[in-house]
Structure 1
Amino acid sequence: MNVHAFRKQDGDSIRSDRDTRLSPGDTSWLTPLTTTVPREYVHRASLAEVFLTRCTRIHETRFLLTGQWPRAHTFFLSPDGRRHDPMQIAETMRQVGLHLAHAVFDVPLGHHFIMWDMSFVSRVEHLGVGRTPTDLDVEATCVDVVRRRGKLVEFRLVITIERDGHLVANGGGRFTCITEAMYRRLRRSAPATTAHQAASHQPAPLPPSDFGRTAPRDVVLAPGGAPNRWRLNADTSHPILFDHEGDHVPGMVLLESARQAACALLPPGSTLIPATVSTEFRRYVEFTSPCWIEASGLAVTGSGTFHALITGRQDDDEVFTARISGPVVQD
């Protein structure tokens, strides 16, 4: 383990002059202070978007982490502001996987990660926004770990998230770690276009509420010329969806497009809570050609749960699929 990565947050700070006034035997100054993990370890540019606060290794591949979700996140929040967005679970899982790779398994900064799949099942009743930020307890286990010449190459993350002793979600995902040189070889035939170089964003002339959003800027879909078909139309200057530079559309943007497409299948005034999500990523989505998002409603169970299948295609190739289900609420 890279102990230096945790030293500051584990309480190894320099005692100030006021510490000399502590009574003999008073060790309260040793109480660790809460801070976020390094933003670089979760591939985030903004500290406000880092949701993890601590990591403790309890076994070779088993870890306990803590995290916190803000009460009023600008993106991961239900339209009425009363519930955390389940998609924040996916972002938290992504951060856990990256943090463990860098801070525990010593994958160097600058390496790239391929996320092959991700899924979670959430308990919507435990996603309410309270009077204080939501503190999380996370148990993570790395399985199917592959190493080559002592270096981490691939692993599957199995994760459980709790809040005040109540289960919030469980799920997992598979990650592959590759060097910068390997990534460049993998991407040598891809267009050298970054998010900031992509075509300027034109907001879709559609009500955000049709897609389960409240702000036009948050809508990532535009009309696709056919029923239940849209063109991926994400704003590449969006401060959350495109928090840092990259040469392909982030997986979290594809997940958001799937959620919005599922919501668009519903009658006006209805919103799907994505309580259960399962997705597979098959290839990178480029900025240089249209990506088409197609959705179909599979069924509505007796409990009112709506199920949808979403597929993304670019240049005649299937790039990702997602299955989303959850309760439907009225705005």
Structure 2
Amino acid sequence: MVHRAAVAEVLLTGWERRAEARFAVTAQWPRGHSFFTPVGGTHYDPLMVAETIRQVGSLLAHAEFDVPVGHQFLMHDLEIAVQPGQLVVEAVPASLDIEVTYPQVKQRRLQHAGARYEAVVRREGRVVARGSASYTCVSSQVYQRVRAGRLSLGRPAIRLTAPLSPQSVGRMSPTDVVLSPLGEADGWQLRVDTRHPILFDHPVDHIPGMMLLEAARQAATAVLNRSSLTRSSFLPTSLVSRFRRYAELDSPCTVQAHRLPADPGEHRVLVSGHQDGEPLFDVTVSACDLRG
């Protein structure tokens, strides 16, 4: 119900309805993860916060709003803001309580058609993060019509391109790098490896939104590392993302990034993606340097 094939990738552990549009969800973050590795070796990856928020929407859509399994979801936007001090990895996995509210629920022909939801994530009573997202969902039949002519499942993806240096984008393994050089200082090609066990947990006909968020994080890290005298550990403190359309597997996607004005001690980078000459996504990444 959270659109993950591997049980190990399910972060949610339970839920209950508290009111008509309010729910309590529980989750657990592992101390170590093969992809959402601790930032600087000390802090939970904020992208795991984003994945938790995404899973919340899928779970409640199926379990509480009666969306049939097999319906397709289109995420329009996803935002998170974290408290870095509450993300410290401790001696046991982090147990989380998530308060979820739905300021907007859409229906079509008496069926759930989408929603906007907001979440407050707490760890031992203290706020770890806040987030929100909106989505629409459609039946598989409608999805086939909407995606007619662009369904990529079974069609060859573009050739896998060479990765950037893992250290330049805050990664340890080249298999986790989702950007390839284009010969531009602040521009890259999205590196789409459909064999990746986390980003492509199961077969899909488009590039998952979580991969686009990871591309934004890596692009922001590359820009910030270039202007830093030493290699730093940049922890995203907020992500504000908008997804314009489906990201196709069989067409190159370019990613650009540039710095924005920011308060002292903070860094802000706007990352945008384009495909076939059309806007694909944009993410404003705010970050702090864990090394001061």
Question: Where on the TM-score scale, by shorter chain, does this alignment land: which range?
Answer: over 0.9
Specify the alignment match of 2:232 in structure 1: 270
Paired with 1:241 and 1:194, the residues of 2 have a C-alpha distance of: 18
Count of aligned pairs between the two proteins = 288
TM-score normalised by structure 2 residue count: 0.95
| Cα distance in 1 between the residues matched to 2:39 and 2:285 | 18
* Alignment match of 1:133 (pick from 93, 112, 122): 93
For the residue of structure 1 that corresponds to 2:242, the secondary structure is strand
Which residue number in structure 2 is paired with residue 201 of structure 1? 160
Partner of 1:289: 251
Shift, 1:300, TM fit: 4.0
Aligned twin of 2:219: 261
- The CA distance in 1 between the partners of 2:197 and 2:255, in whole Å, is 23
Partner-residue secondary structure (3-state), 2:246: coil
The structure showing larger relative contact order (alpha-carbon pairs under 8 Å, at least 6 residues apart) is: 2
**Residue identity in the other structure for 1:307:** R
Q: In the alignment, which residue of structure 2 is the partner of 1:165? A: 125
Contact kept in structure 2, 1:211 and 1:263, CA below 8 Å = yes
Distance 2:152 2:193 in 1: 19
Distance 2:104 2:192 in 1: 34
Structure 1 unmatched ranges of 5 or more: 1-40
State the match for 2:193 in structure 1: 235
CA deviations on 1:222-252 (whole Å, 9 max, x unpaired) are 0123220000003211111111110000000
Q: Post-superposition shift, 1:316?
A: 0.5
Q: Structure 1: how far apart are the matches of 2:154 and 2:249?
A: 7
Q: Establish whether residue 225 from structure 1 lines up as the match of residue 187 from structure 2.
A: no
* Aligned match of 2:173: 215
Is contact 1:79-1:213 (8 Å) kept?
no
Checking the alignment, whether the CA contact within 8 Å between 2:158 and 2:251 is kept in structure 1 is: no
Q: 1:200, CA displacement in angstroms? A: 5.2
Using the size of structure 1 for normalisation, the TM-score is 0.84
Matched residue type, 2:187: R
Instruction: Give distance in 1, aligned partners of 2:234 and 2:58.
Output: 29
CA distance in 2, matches of 1:54, 1:100: 10
In structure 1, how many angstroms separate the alpha carbons of the residues matched to 2:154 and 2:168? 29
1:113 to 66, 73, 78: 73
**What does residue 20 of structure 1 align with?**
none
Query: Which stretch shifts more, 41-50 or 78-87?
Result: 78-87
Q: Give aligned-pair identity as a percent.
A: 42
- The alignment yields a C-alpha RMSD, in angstroms, of 1.5
Alignment of 1:1-331 (within 5 A): 41-194=1-154, 197-199=156-158, 201-204=160-163, 206-266=164-224, 267=226, 269-302=231-264, 304-330=265-291
Post-superposition shift, 1:74?
1.1
Deviations 1:225-284 (A, max 9, x none): 322000000321111111111000000000000000000002351232111000000001
User: Residues 166 and 174 of structure 2 are in contact (CA less than 8 Å); yes or no, is this contact kept in structure 1?
Assistant: yes
